[in-house]
Amino acid sequence: MKRYTLYSIISLLLFGLFTGGCQLGKHYTRPDLHLPATLDSTATDTNSIADFRWWEIYTDTTLQQLIRQTLEYNKDMLTATARLKEMAAQKRIAVANLFPDIGIKLYADKDAENYGGNHYKSSPELTGKLVAAWEVDLWGNLRWAKDKSMAEFLQAVENRRALQMTLVAQVAQAYFELVALDNELEIVKQTLHAREEGVRLARLRFNGGLTSETAYQQAQVELARTATLVPSLERSIALKENDINFLAGRYPEKVERSHHPENIRLPESLPAGMPATLLERRPDIRAAENALVAANADVGIAFTNLFPKLTLTAQYGLESGDIEDFFHSPSHFISANLLAPLFAMGKRRAMVKAKKAAYEQSVYQYEKAVLSAFKDAQNAIVEFNKIKDIYDSRLKLEQAAQQSVKLAQLQYMNGVIGYLDVLDAQRTYLDAQIGLSNAVRDKQIAMVQLYKALGGGWE
| CATH, residue 267 | 1.20.1600.10
459 lies in a domain? no
Check whether residue 169 and residue 127 sit in a common domain. Answer: no
Check whether residue 245 and residue 108 sit in a common domain. Answer: no
**pLDDT score recorded for residue 10:** 55
**pLDDT score recorded for residue 4:** 52
Check whether residue 195 and residue 314 sit in a common domain. Answer: no
Check whether residue 54 and residue 92 sit in a common domain. Answer: yes
**pLDDT score recorded for residue 5:** 52
Check whether residue 151 and residue 272 sit in a common domain. Answer: yes
Among the candidates 324, 340, 356, a domain finishes at 340
458 lies in a domain? no
Check whether residue 185 and residue 290 sit in a common domain. Answer: yes
Number of domains present in the structure of the chain: 2
Check whether residue 336 and residue 256 sit in a common domain. Answer: no
Check whether residue 316 and residue 422 sit in a common domain. Answer: no
Check whether residue 47 and residue 4 sit in a common domain. Answer: no
**pLDDT score recorded for residue 218:** 85
- Low pLDDT (below 50) residues in the chain: 1
Check whether residue 132 and residue 142 sit in a common domain. Answer: no
pTM comes to 0.86
Among the candidates 293, 324, 340, a domain finishes at 340
Q: How many CB atoms lie within 10 A of CB 200?
A: 11
Check whether residue 151 and residue 16 sit in a common domain. Answer: no
Whose CA is closest to 440, among 176, 138, 142?
Answer: 176
Q: Which domain does 121 fall in, by range?
A: 1-22+101-136+310-340
**CATH number (domain holding residue 114):** 2.20.200.10
16 lies in a domain? yes
302 lies in a domain? yes
Give the three-class secondary structure for 122.
Answer: strand
37 lies in a domain? yes
Q: How far does the chain reach from its first CA to its final CA, in angstroms?
A: 61
Check whether residue 301 and residue 356 sit in a common domain. Answer: yes
Whose CA is closest to 133, among 13, 283, 262?
Answer: 13
H or E element: which one contains 123? strand 120-136
Task: Please report the sign of the dihedral spanned by the C-alpha atoms of residue 297, residue 299, residue 305, residue 307.
Answer: negative
**pLDDT score recorded for residue 393:** 94
